[in-house]
Amino acid sequence: MAWAKVKLALLVGAILIIVSGTAVVAVNEVCNPIRDKTIWTAKSLYSVPPLVVVRPTKLETTEYFVCEERGLGTRYRGRKLPITFALATAYDFSPYRIVFSEAPLTGSFDFLATVTNAQQALRTEIHHQLNLVGQSEMRTTNCLILQVNQRNAPGLKPPKKHSNTLVLEDEAVLSSHSFEKLANVLESILEQPVIDRTKTQEKFDITFKWSAQDKSLESMNRALRDQLGLELVPSREPIKMLVVKIAR
């Protein structure tokens, strides 16, 4: 699952932002406050020097930002987020498929990776700064199964555009995507693993709206059935999880 790239659907605050060879410079602090403000607010991460930063947050606003451009690699920035989001980016996992072998770090963190092989560099920096390492393991855990409830739902249209994703506080617009992508979006909304069992790889233009005030399973299923002819069924299944441990 290329979670931190095209399939990433992390609902951070009110809005999701996805924007479609250098040496690593790892830093604990960016000393120049003007430069610090620039790197944490730049609209393109390709204008930011090659850096890898992981630190307790010094910023007031929450953001998850990904830049991906052919030939230039993918770059990542997170502001005022739980450490699970930095780990999810570094190890290419959903933040909702991460467990800790010991008590997890609390508080919020900023992270930045604007180098070649950014995810590997971020893993190294998390190890260096926080003494944390992750390893994938199969764990039996609570999850939701996305399955078909009825066919020919009104919210599913034949694809007309190139693949694109926009996730807001109470609406998702997916252009030319399969239900697997929708499962990723639902996982971010409900903050627990969602597995696609619709048994179709067909792509659609999907518009899905829900109540930002009521994200209970009952409310989400009502919206899914009415708009997309789908439903979520609680289950408990073996799932590949990222197990995070303190390095010994």
Mean pLDDT of 79-87: 96
The H or E element containing residue 145 is: strand 132-148
Averaged pLDDT of the chain: 86
Tell me the pairing of strands 17-19 and 63-69. parallel
112-150: pLDDT as tens digits:
999 999 999 999 999 999 999 999 999 999 999 999 999
- pLDDT, residue 161, reads 74
- pLDDT, residue 36, reads 61
- pLDDT, residue 73, reads 87
Binned at pLDDT 50, 70 and 90, residue 21 comes out as: very low
Mean pLDDT of 8-27: 38
Q: Which of 162, 160, 199, 204 is nearest to 182 (CA)?
A: 204
- pLDDT, residue 3, reads 52
Would the pLDDT of 15 be above 80?
A: no
In whole angstroms, what is the distance from residue 83 CA to residue 105 CA?
Answer: 7
**Residue 198 and residue 154 in contact, taking contact as beta carbons nearer than 8 Å:** no
216-247: pLDDT as tens digits:
999 999 999 999 999 999 999 999 999 999 98
Q: Cβ of 191: how many Cβ atoms within 10 Å?
A: 11
Whole-angstrom Cα Rg for the chain: 19
Mean pLDDT of 34-55: 83
Alpha helix (H) ranges present in 108-210? Answer: 118-130, 179-190
pTM score of the predicted model: 0.82
- pLDDT, residue 163, reads 84
Q: Tell me whether residue 78 is exposed, middle or buried, using C-beta atoms within 10 angstroms of its C-beta: 0 to 12, 13 to 18, 19 or more.
A: buried
DSSP track, 25-92: -EES----HHHHHHHHH-S-GGGS-S-EEEEE---SS-EEEEEEETTTEEEEEEEEE-HHHHHHHHHT
166-202: pLDDT as tens digits:
888 999 999 999 999 999 999 999 999 999 999 999 9
Beta bridge partners of 209: 171
Q: Could you tell me the end-to-end alpha-carbon distance of the chain, in angstroms, rounded to an integer?
A: 28
**Residue 151 and residue 230 in contact, taking contact as beta carbons nearer than 8 Å:** no
- pLDDT, residue 202, reads 93
In whole angstroms, what is the distance from residue 226 CA to residue 36 CA?
Answer: 47
Residue in the structure block whose two tokens are 């963190």: 109
Any idea which of 1-5, 58-62, 83-87 has the lowest mean pLDDT?
1-5
Residue in the structure block whose two tokens are 């950014």: 118
Percentage of the chain beyond pLDDT 70 is 85
Q: Tell me whether residue 95 is exposed, middle or buried, using C-beta atoms within 10 angstroms of its C-beta: 0 to 12, 13 to 18, 19 or more.
A: buried
Mean pLDDT of 84-91: 97
Buried b (16+ CB within 10 A) or exposed e, 6-43: bbbbbbbeeebbbeeeeebeeeeebeeeeebeebbebe
Would the pLDDT of 13 be above 90?
A: no
- pLDDT, residue 100, reads 96
